[in-house]
A and B are shown apart, each in its own frame.
Chain A
Amino acid sequence: MKISIKIILLITYSVFSAALFMGIISVYYFSKIGNQYILNIEELGAENIKNIEQDGKKQEIEFRNELILKTKESLKNNVLSSTSIVDNYLNSYSNSSKKDVLKLLKNARYGDSYQDYYWITDLDAKMIMHPYNNDLVGKNISSYEDRNGKKVFKDSIDLVKEKGEGYIEYDWPKYGSTGQFRKLSYVKLLKKMNWVIGTGVYINDIDNKVKEKSKKMSEKIQAEILKIKNEIEWQKQQAKKNIHKFIIIISLFSCLFLIIICGLSFYITRVTISIPVEKTVNFANRLNNNDFSKELVLDQKDEIGILARTLEHMRKKWQTDVMKAEEHVKNMNDILEQIEKITNEIAPGSRQVSESSKSLSEGATSQASSLEEITSSMTQMEAQTKANAQNALKANQLSTEAISAAQQGNTHMQEMMNAMGDINDASKDIAKIIKTIDEIAFQTNLLALNAAVEAARAGRFGKGFAVVAEEVRNLAARSATAAKETEELIAGSVSKVDKGSEIAKRTAQALKNIVSETSKTSELVEKIACASNDQAIGIAQVNESLIQIDKVTQTTAARAQETSSIANHLDNNTANLRKILMRYKGKESNISTNEQILGIDTKINLLENESSHYDNNNNKKLLSSYSSHDYDDDDDFGEF
């Protein structure tokens, strides 16, 4: 398993477990909070319901109180209005109408069912008037008690006595129904008559109204409560749904997060650990395979970076070492190759030397014979050169003669040109004369024509004359044509003279050129004569030198033979050296680089020993053989 995969597995495991733990906790807490929230909602709902119910009750009581207040007001108003009516009535009609008043009041009714009534007692609790209970009229009813033991009339009389008017509450049988009902009454004292006028309404009416109202209210409230309960239920459901959603979203997000974390960690491990490690491993493998060419560059500061730098350092060190070793081997090989090359070159060279020295000695003998031939031809040449010089002198004389002849020719040419000019002038004179002749011919022609005309006019007498005139005219015409021809001829001769003079001019120029060229030629001939003399002297010197060369050639031939023997010796020595070198070469080819490096030193030592030994021996020999010929080395070996 690779390091990167290991690390990734580790990270994945830890992150996954952490995420799982966190997820469980968060889900737990969320469900808890959700439940709390639901409970809260329920509590709030219950409180609301309670409040609403309380509100309903309160409203009911308030409604009742209000109704009672209204009833009290109306009672009071009724009593006040009736007392005022009775009072007025009594005032206006005096005592006589007491019965009428009582009658009036006895019949007075009000209320919803038009059954509420007035009653009258006096201050001694004697019933004066009561519309429904005639039994009580005229009786003292101060001891009358309702079912609760309340002395109704006595209390009311007391109240009137004390305050003049007021409310009193008690139970009283209702008209048209059995049993006693709660009744609220208002009593007022009519002072004039000492009457207590009272009236009352049954409060159970009010209670009925209130009950009706409260019933409606409670229905409404129940509906409201139902709504609220539904709302609470919906809220609960919603909350539960939300919690579920939230839990799902959280788990999804945590999964995504987990994947991202894993990816990132994979990437980071790959970049920071896995790749550098791979690189380092590859590098180490390369080092193991003796490949030092590529560098390892890791820009990291962790342990891998340190490892890479150390490896790189190692690689550099090894590389320089190997390069040095290779260089040593190369140098050694070069040296060996050079030695081999030199020996290879020396071998044919020494052979060539021996051959060449042989051919040299042969050449020297043939040289000597050709030198003799040269000497004989040189003497011939000397004689010829002398003859040359004499001929040149003769040529010089001839050219001076030619110059004088050319100059003469030039003067003649000048004379000829003058003569031509004269001819030209004469031609012009002749042309003038011819013109005159032409004119005369014309005039003659005219005359002849006139004569002809005259002859014609003269008629037959003029006939002969006409013939003469015709003849004269013909003559005039002929002379005119002759003059014209002569003119043409003269013009031709003039142009020819012009041409001739032109040619003469050119000839004169040519003659001048001849003179100058000939004088140059004579100078050259003179120089040739001088040079020929010098040549003759030079040839004599050459002859002397040739004799010396002959001597030298003789010695050269002798020396060449000696050289040949020495070259043979050198050839043998070279062959020995090559044999030794071949032995080393044969060993070299089967050895690896490392072993080469190790073996090279010993080889070098061996070689050095042998070569020094060889050099010493050979040098001694060579030196001894050349020491006697030191003075003319350049002459003998220049050709190699």
Chain B
Amino acid sequence: MKQIGFLFDEEFENENDIFDETDEDTLKDRFLTFNIGNNDYGLEICYITEIIGIQPITEIPGMPKFLKGVINLRGTVVPVVDVRIRFEMPERKYDEKTCVIIVHINDTDIGLVVDDVSEVVDIPEHNILPPPAVNKGRASRFINGMGKIDEKVSILLDINKLLYDRSNDNNNIENTGVNNEN
């Protein structure tokens, strides 16, 4: 409790600075980090609506492999994408730590299945580096940049490319989105 109180004090000290910023500014530079395999990935918080535990997934036949199926989120049918498969990494059995990140993009809710969710962090712009120019491989096209957090490096993903990029890709994610809307 003492710690929390201390934190609050700090908050109040910087109150004037905070008030100067706009709403958009508050959402900027904030990222939700999660784990797939041994890597940390980051996703801009502005796209994220909520995080839920793994739920039973209804599979839809004839869809691309990474589109695992749909889930029922409080009455709304939400398509679910397995990021592992999207990254062409080996599949892994879901456990109690597996989470689904619900993102809202282009007026559509889409679930992203990840191994584990870590935290919500601030990464200032000067700590973000451009993606390495060396590897123009499959998964690297989804990368927005490399965010430094203390000693670690988080791979910041471009959610649009992750979901809708069809270049160099046999799968069609847009169709699923359209199908879902209809």
A positions within 8 Å CB-CB of B: 439, 442-443, 445-446, 449-450, 452-453, 456-457, 459-460, 462-464, 466-468, 470-471, 473
Contact = CB atoms under 8 A, between A and B. Distances in A.
Interface stretch (B19-27, B60-68, B82-90, B144-152): B19-27
Nearest to B48: A453
Contacts of A473: 119
Nearest to B122: A456
A382 to B, nearest CB: 87
B163 interface: no
B104 to A, nearest CB: 11
A446 B11 contact: no
Contacts of A445: 117
B113 interface: no
Given A459-B27, A464-B8, A471-B4, A449 B96 contact: no
A28 B168 CA distance: 148
Contacts of A453: 32, 45, 48-51, 120
Given A453-B32, A456-B45, A463 B4 contact: no
A449 B97 CA distance: 14
A463 B46 CA distance: 15
B124 interface: no
Contacts of A464: 8, 11
7 contacts: A445-B117, A446-B99, A449-B32, A449-B117, A453-B120, A460-B18, A466-B120
Nearest to A457: B27
B37 interface: no
Contacts of A452: 119-120
A464 B11 CA distance: 7
B135 interface: no
A439 B119 CA distance: 18
Contacts of B32: 449, 453
Nearest to B99: A446
B57 interface: no
Given A449-B32, A467-B4, A456 B50 contact: no
Nearest to A454: B50
A467 B8 contact: yes
A450 B45 contact: no
Contacts of A463: 11, 18, 26
Interface string B34-68: 00000000000110111111000000000000000
A258 B71 CA distance: 146
Which of under 10, 10 to 19, 20 to 34, or 35 or more describes the interface residues of B? 20 to 34
B110 to A, nearest CB: 16
B26 A446 contact: no
Interface string B125-153: 00000000000000000000000000000
Contact of A456 (B11, B18, B30, B117): B30
A363 to B, nearest CB: 101
Given A460-B23, A466-B120, 6 more contacts: A446-B53, A449-B32, A449-B120, A453-B51, A460-B19, A473-B119
Q: Which secondary structure dominates chain A's binding surface?
A: helix
B7 interface: yes
For the complex of A and B, list the 9 residue pairs with the smallest distance between their C-beta atoms, beginning with the closest: A452-B120, A459-B26, A459-B23, A460-B18, A456-B45, A456-B30, A467-B7, A449-B51, A471-B4
Contacts of A449: 32, 51, 117, 119-120
Contact of B26 (A439, A460, A468): A460
A628 B144 CA distance: 140
A468 B53 contact: no
Contacts of A459: 23, 26-27
A473 B96 CA distance: 17
A444 B7 CA distance: 21
Contacts of B99: 446
A315 B21 CA distance: 158
Contacts of B4: 467-468, 471
Contacts of B96: 439, 442
A452 B32 CA distance: 9
Nearest to A451: B120
A467 B117 CA distance: 18
Nearest to B27: A456
Nearest to B31: A456
B179 interface: no
A450 B51 contact: yes
A445 B34 CA distance: 13
A459 B27 CA distance: 7
A464 B4 CA distance: 10
A473 B51 CA distance: 13
B27 to A, nearest CB: 6
- Of the listed residues B8, B27, B48, B120, the one surrounded by the most CB atoms of chain A closer than 10 A to its CB is B120
Contacts of A462: 26
B182 interface: no
Contacts of B23: 459-460
A470 B120 CA distance: 9
A443 B53 contact: yes
Nearest to A467: B7
A436 to B, nearest CB: 12
A464 B13 CA distance: 12
Contact of A442 (B8, B27, B97): B97
B86 to A, nearest CB: 22
B119 A446 contact: no
A323 to B, nearest CB: 113
Contacts of A471: 3-4, 7
A462 B30 CA distance: 13
Contacts of B3: 471
